[in-house]
Structure 1
Amino acid sequence: MTVKYYLDKPNGDAVTAVYLFARMGKQTVKVKTGDFIHPRFWNIKPNKDGNHVKGTYSDVVELNYSLDNLRNRVRNAFKKRMEENPAFRFPDFKEDILALLHPAEPKVGKTFLEYYDEYIGSSESHRSPSTLRKYRGIYNHLVNFSEKKKYPLTFEGINMRFFDEMKDYLVKDLKHTDNTVWKTFATLKAFMVWALERDLHQNLSFRKFKAIQREVDTISLTEKELQTLYEKDLSKNPRLGRVRDVFCFACYTGQRYSDLEKLRRSDIKGNVWALRQKKTDSVNRVPLLPQAMAILERYSEDAAPLPVLSNQKMNDYLKELGELAGLDEPTSVTSRRGGERIEDTKPKYDFITMHTARRTFITLSLEKGLRPEIVMRVSGHTNYQTFKKYIKITDRIKEQEMLNVWAMPKPKAEPLPQE
């Protein structure tokens, strides 16, 4: 069987319908796809990528994807028909194609939100608890948005109107920054792809959603601040002492909180941590610096190699620890909310979280001259675009790099003239 597309009026000067032709031998089934296009945007013969729509068309990606997707589904439906009954009448195959173009409503009467809840459940086996919490937070935002804006949530209703109104709600009502809005729509787009792959809808409007992702300010500790924290006498405050040890261990290894939480004694082989990273499920051999080994030694008699608390408690106690250690330099973090620039200035300890440790490791390693590819291997990054978001280019790095590149050799002293 062959599947091709033709225009109803290919030589006309107006928008015309796109038809799908399925042929088996001398038998042909012709079905109107529901798509329309002007002939000047149509490739009579598909190009090398199999695309019928020319690149000058405004929705070229969406329409080419839709046609390619339909062709593949028609072929799969034909294969299924042949497996069930090789002698079936080919003209009857038209009903199968129409069913693909106009699918019945999802069974059991599940709503959009119920399917989103199912999506969260299907993510539990391969997503972190923090990611799942974000998914559930978005679920709550969708419920509140629908109620407040009187917007019914359906798969077909996830269009540009939804995008505009949801974005307006996130920014104006919830006061979300641009990056939080970007993450929300990235999650919703992933859900729509998940639902599309399960034939729950055929709406591709979500592919046009374009939220802005901003470069964010990163907070990291200087070498002096890290040393101050590491050497701080906390014998009278063992609670903060344990928090300090976990945080500093992360600063000296560059690993995520989720990996610290799963650390076992059997993972330590001499001065190497054989880490199976939770996020990537890959093994990373992390060299342990003397400071990291000394921290592990403090808990050698305990059941767990590190006294890791919940991420939320660690973050709360780190602010208390930072204040006690005098990490109070005024620090500004800038973000954007729509067209508004928001600058938040606080003592540095107010911005310290467990994630600060990972940024500190990367920044200090680069300052000390460790090559970026080596830092990436230790921290477990596989993508430079992701890795560079953690880099804080300090004045010290700039000065050192400039000197390395531009420093001129000192001229030799001229001998004094002989009298």
Structure 2
Amino acid sequence: MQDLFSVLFYVRKSKNKSATHAMVYLRITYEGKRAEASTMRKVNLSKWNAKANKMSGTSAEAKQVNRNLDIIKNRIYEIYQKFLENGEEITAVNIKDEFLGKNKDDKRILKIFEDHNLRMEKLVDKDYSFRTLQRYKTTKKHLTNFISSSYKADDFRVKDIDIKFINSFMYYLKTELNHSHNSALKYLAYLKKIVRIAVANGWLEKDPFYNFKQKRQVIDREFLTKEEIIKIMEKTFTIQRMEQVRDAFLFSCYTGCSYSDIKKLTKQNIIKGIDGSQWLKFKRTKTRSLSSVPLLTVPEELIKKYEDFDNPKGTLLPVLSNQKTNGYLKEIADLCEIQKKLTFHVARHTFATTVTLSNGVPIESVSKMLGHRSIKITQHYAKVLDEKLSEDMNNLKNRMAASENKRKLK
């Protein structure tokens, strides 16, 4: 490898044939390709030793010039070694640019990521949720390990990010970390936002994600049936915390609230709706969009149950940490003999599917209650059950039969 890389100095004579001095130039060669730069030092042509690449003699001038040339040469080798160790692209031009300081303004993706996350951290509960921050941090952690593993570097120049880099990161997420296709795409979505910050700031000329085309795979979302909800509702728990988790889960099944929303709800979020009944009104933590949900009997009863509960946080319901909540839900599923992976988010899908759509609530209303900005998002949550299809078609048959009978009577 060393034979592919060389550094030498030469003098470039001026067109003036009578000139006695000339500028010394640096020539870097790597894999047969050259890059040259001025050392900004002139020498007496009669004193220059072309074979030795330095000035001849022991004069003070010769010693000073040769010392400076040695410093330059050592610096070039240091840059070359650094490029090797960091897994950076080695070319004669890149080494020259690094030496001249042209790469000092090169932005690195992990540094941009870290700066973004630090700014976001200060805006948690204002513009962003804590969970969103955690997802960005996790993406940065995966990206750090990917760069270290694939490029043997501690960071990566943002201007070198291309479609190959993106596809390689996608492959790493799927193979090394065993993430599903959709999970890998989520991490890439966070990387894409950071890359677009670089594009917007002019640190990257073109968006490398422009030609990245990957679609999410359609998967069936878990939700509970009416019978499964009743099982959980009627189950008696001896552990108070498990009962509290069950109640928060049921509250979500009948309101569509996410975990991050329920843990912040207070009495101030309960208002009198246009119909005179109690409504739940709040801004979603994730999207900051407004959700308005008329309260059904079950959530009303749960609110009454915890009215006198000693809750220092002053929330409507006592809510455990997300990790403990999902841990207890797994136990609840086992105790109730429910053969599904029960997480808190299943409650939100259950509200969209079993509680609302299956009971004839239009998808537009469901979307508004869930706080979605688009019905397309709601369609990912909601499934129309066969039972509802059967009911709708039977109603249609009855209407058509009634219409036929009227025509016969005439």
Could you tell me which runs of 5 or more consecutive residues in structure 1 were left unpaired when the two chains were aligned.
1-103, 328-346, 413-419
The Cα shift of 1:266 comes to 2.0
**What is the identity percentage for the equivalent residue pairs of Structure 1 and Structure 2?**
31
- What SS does the corresponding residue of 1:250 show, helix, strand or coil? helix
* Partner Cα distance (2:326, 2:109) in 1: 35
* Partner Cα distance (2:206, 2:195) in 1: 9
* Partner Cα distance (1:204, 1:239) in 2: 49
The Cα shift of 1:246 comes to 0.3
Choose which of 350, 372, 376 in structure 2 pairs with 1:360.
Answer: 350
String of CA shifts for 1:208-231, please: whole Å, max 9, x gaps: 122331112111011111122112
Work out which of the two has the higher radius of gyration on C-alpha atoms and give 1 or 2. 2
Q: 2:401 is matched by which residue type in structure 1?
A: P
- The equivalent residue for 1:173 is 176
* Partner Cα distance (1:295, 1:219) in 2: 24
- The equivalent residue for 2:248 is 246
String of CA shifts for 1:338-371, please: whole Å, max 9, x gaps: xxxxxxxxx21xx111111110001021111111
- The equivalent residue for 2:401 is 409
8 Å contact from structure 1 (residues 145, 151) kept in 2 = no
- The equivalent residue for 2:322 is 311
- The equivalent residue for 1:87 is none
String of CA shifts for 1:389-408, please: whole Å, max 9, x gaps: 00123221222233233454
- The equivalent residue for 1:120 is 117
* Partner Cα distance (2:346, 2:195) in 1: 33
- What SS does the corresponding residue of 2:158 show, helix, strand or coil? coil
- The equivalent residue for 1:207 is 210
- What SS does the corresponding residue of 1:280 show, helix, strand or coil? coil
Q: 2:286 aligned with 1:283, yes or no?
A: no
Q: 2:325 aligned with 1:323, yes or no?
A: no
- What SS does the corresponding residue of 1:409 show, helix, strand or coil? helix
The Cα shift of 1:106 comes to 6.1
Choose which of 383, 386, 398 in structure 1 pairs with 2:377.
Answer: 386
Choose which of 360, 369, 372 in structure 1 pairs with 2:363.
Answer: 372
* Partner Cα distance (2:249, 2:305) in 1: 14
* Partner Cα distance (2:290, 2:181) in 1: 34
String of CA shifts for 1:294-333, please: whole Å, max 9, x gaps: 1111111123320111111111110101111222xxxxxx
* Partner Cα distance (1:267, 1:150) in 2: 51
8 Å contact from structure 1 (residues 155, 203) kept in 2 = no
Q: 1:183 is matched by which residue type in structure 2?
A: K
The alpha-carbon distance between structure 1 residues 275 and 209, as it changes in their structure 2 partners (threshold 3 A), is same
* Partner Cα distance (2:198, 2:396) in 1: 53
String of CA shifts for 1:128-155, please: whole Å, max 9, x gaps: 2222212111111111111211265211
- What SS does the corresponding residue of 1:225 show, helix, strand or coil? helix
The Cα shift of 1:245 comes to 0.5
Aligned Cα RMSD in Å?
2.3
- The equivalent residue for 2:145 is 144
- What SS does the corresponding residue of 1:273 show, helix, strand or coil? strand
* Partner Cα distance (2:281, 2:241) in 1: 28
* Partner Cα distance (1:352, 1:230) in 2: 14
The Cα shift of 1:105 comes to 4.8
The Cα shift of 1:290 comes to 1.2
Q: 2:377 is matched by which residue type in structure 1?
A: T
The Cα shift of 1:276 comes to 2.3
Q: Which runs of 4+ in 1 moved over 3 A?
A: 104-107, 404-408
Q: 2:253 is matched by which residue type in structure 1?
A: C
Q: Which moved more, 1:109-118 or 1:301-310?
A: 109-118
- What SS does the corresponding residue of 1:156 show, helix, strand or coil? helix
* Partner Cα distance (1:280, 1:163) in 2: 27
- The equivalent residue for 2:43 is none
Q: 1:320 is matched by which residue type in structure 2?
A: E
Q: 1:258 is matched by which residue type in structure 2?
A: S
8 Å contact from structure 1 (residues 275, 286) kept in 2 = no
The Cα shift of 1:274 comes to 2.2
The normalised TM-score by structure 2 is 0.66
The alpha-carbon distance between structure 1 residues 248 and 112, as it changes in their structure 2 partners (threshold 3 A), is same
The Cα shift of 1:242 comes to 0.6
The alpha-carbon distance between structure 1 residues 383 and 105, as it changes in their structure 2 partners (threshold 3 A), is farther
The normalised TM-score by structure 1 is 0.64
Q: Which moved more, 1:218-227 or 1:129-138?
A: 129-138
- What SS does the corresponding residue of 1:272 show, helix, strand or coil? strand
- The equivalent residue for 1:187 is 190
The alpha-carbon distance between structure 1 residues 301 and 216, as it changes in their structure 2 partners (threshold 3 A), is same
